[in-house]
Amino acid sequence: MLNIGGLNEGVVIDHIKAGGAMKIYEYLNLEKQDCSVAIIKNAKSSKMGKKDIIKIEGPITLDLDILGVLDPNLTLDIIKAGKIVEKRNPNLPVQVTGIIRCKNPRCITSVEQELSHRFRLASKEKGLYRCIYCEQAYKR
Amino acid sequence: MKHVISPLDLSMEELSDILSLAENILHDPKKYFGCCYGKKLATLFYEPSTRTRLSFEAAMLNLGGSVLGFSSADSSSAAKGESVSDTIRVVSSYADICAMRHPKEGAPYVASIHSSIPVINAGDGGHNHPTQTLTDLFTIKTLKGHLDHLTIGFCGDLKFGRTVHSLIGAMVRYPNSRFVLISPDELRIPTYLREEVLEANNIPYQETKALEEVMPELDILYMTRVQKERFFNEEDYIRLKDSFILDAAKMQYAREDMLILHPLPRVNEIASEVDDDPRAVYFKQAELGVYVRMALIMTLLGITVE
Ligand SMILES: [Zn+2]
């Protein structure tokens, strides 16, 4: 049984933009992972109004920093032996390949299917990614 | 090996060298004839752009080199579904340098990754067109004598006009540039350009809808075409296209030494009565484009003339 209040070992992905939890659930392929997952939607947040939270119980081997590409404002609470041992924002990767897709209909990736969709971090402060081919900003 | 995909791929020093070389060629073109003998330029044009293609071909022929290529996607292997990366691998073994025009943004960049010869972006969708920017800079440098301390007015479609975006990006690198942006509300410059380029570098600029009012302040007036294909409906196009037409009446307000530039082709945004005005330099600009392309080709091929 997953104890929603406190995890023994795992991660709490907090401050997810309201409505964004399922996208992250799907991206991490949590359905296939051997761990218990609790998704809390529309939780009240003093900072954000509403937010989503995902709690994952179990040893985490996933690359969680990549989640910053999907939502740069989320936070990661790493929990070991019932305690938060680390609380941080994701370190935004400088370049990401195959995680997000360029939506610009004029981009070369729209016609050449075998090209990998690749983005580079253009602004760390804004969590802004640009397509390396057409330079269009990725809109979440 | 160096490719030129974006105007900012050239450092200020490289840019200055290319502009000086273009100036030397302009003053003594005979001296450079034949310096690219035996070299081949491939013009890979996936969409027609006769003006740009001819300018590249004239540049290579002036240097004594030869040209090969295609001028539309349906006459090329692209029609059979070949990828840009496969095409450039093959072309790399036929030619020494290539100029690529493609309707899709980023295609010349893809080519540069897989190419063993220098790739020059000859225009990719609404994205980059670095040799147009070089042409604009060379025109200003040649006719004004300098690229700093200039007030440049841009008029027309500033939202989709890639030549405008690129030239602003290039001019902010020179000291004391100032911009006057003249457009209808619907066609103002994109937010990223305002925030990430102008405001981030503390560059003075002004946005207005009244061309006559700002005319006396300008050193350069860069006119652009309001392209029909940028609009979703005919009505918007017809309503906006005539709003910003330059005619002899408006030219009365301009300084004696103001220059009118235009990337061409022109539709009706500059009345033909303006053509005879000595300040109208857009045809000269097209001519100067050949010299700056000669300088770029020589530089990328590593060819020098003593
Ligand atoms: Zn793209």
B225 conformational bin, left if phi > 0, alpha if psi -120 to 50, beta if neither: beta
Q: Is residue A3 scored above 70 in pLDDT?
A: no
- Report yes or no for ipTM above 0.90: no
Tokens representing A8 are 């023994």
**Contact yes or no for A106 and B104 at CB 8 A:** yes
Q: How far is the CA of B216 from the centre of ligand 1 (A)?
A: 41
With H, G, I as helix, E, B as strand and everything else as coil, classify residue B148: coil
**What does the mean pLDDT of chain B come to?**
94
pLDDT band at A1 (very low <50, low <70, confident <90, very high): very low
Distance CA A121, CA B306 (A): 44
B-contacting residues of A 90-119, CB under 8 Å?
Answer: 104, 106-112, 114-115
Q: What is the dihedral of CA B58, B141, B119, A116, to 10 degrees?
A: -140
CATH for B7-129+289-301?
Answer: 3.40.50.1370
Residues of A in contact with B84 (CB under 8 A): 108, 112
Distance CA B240, CA A118 (A): 37
Distance from CA of B156 to the nearest CA of A (A): 22
Residues of B in contact with A132 (CB under 8 A): 106, 109
For residue B122, the model assigns a pLDDT of 97
What confidence tens digit (pLDDT) does each residue in A5-21 have? 678 899 999 999 999 99
Q: How far is the CA of B264 from the centre of ligand 1 (A)?
A: 27
Instruction: Give yes or no on whether B7-129+289-301 and B131-285 have one common fold.
Output: yes
Angle at B125 between CA B120 and CA B129, to 5 degrees: 40
Please tell me whether the overall predicted TM-score, pTM, comes out greater than 0.80 for this model: yes
Q: Which of B301, B261, B299, B252 is nearest to B280 (CA)?
A: B261
Residues of B in contact with A107 (CB under 8 A): 104-106
The catalytic residues of B are: 51-52, 80, 101, 129
Strand order in the sheet with B259-261: B205-208, B178-182, B151-155, B220-223, B259-261
Q: HSE-up of B176 (CA within 13 Å, CB side)?
A: 6
**Inter-chain contacts counted by CB atoms under 8 A, chains A and B:** 45
Question: Helix and strand tally (H, E) in chain B?
Answer: 11, 9
Residues of A in contact with B89 (CB under 8 A): none
**Contact yes or no for B104 and A107 at CB 8 A:** yes
Q: Is residue A4 scored above 60 in pLDDT?
A: no
Tokens representing A71 are 């939502």
For chain B, what are the domain ranges? 7-129+289-301, 131-285
For residue B131, the model assigns a pLDDT of 98
What confidence tens digit (pLDDT) does each residue in A53-111 have? 999 998 877 888 989 999 999 999 999 988 899 999 999 999 999 999 999 999 999 99
With H, G, I as helix, E, B as strand and everything else as coil, classify residue B257: coil
Q: Which residues of chain B have pLDDT under 50?
A: none
Tell me which of B3, B100, B104 to substitute to probe the interface with A (most A C-beta atoms closer than 10 Å). B104
**Contact yes or no for A110 and B109 at CB 8 A:** no
Q: Which of B145, B192, B144 is nearest to B168 (CA)?
A: B192
**Contact yes or no for A136 and B83 at CB 8 A:** no
**Contact yes or no for B104 and A114 at CB 8 A:** no
Distance from CA of B99 to the nearest CA of A (A): 17
Distance from CA of B10 to the nearest CA of A (A): 18
For residue B243, the model assigns a pLDDT of 65
Report all structural domains of chain A as residue ranges with CATH numbers, in order of start.
Answer: 10-88 (3.30.70.140), 95-139 (2.30.30.20)
What confidence tens digit (pLDDT) does each residue in A24-68 have? 999 888 888 888 899 999 999 888 899 999 999 988 778 889 899
CATH class of residue range B131-285: alpha beta
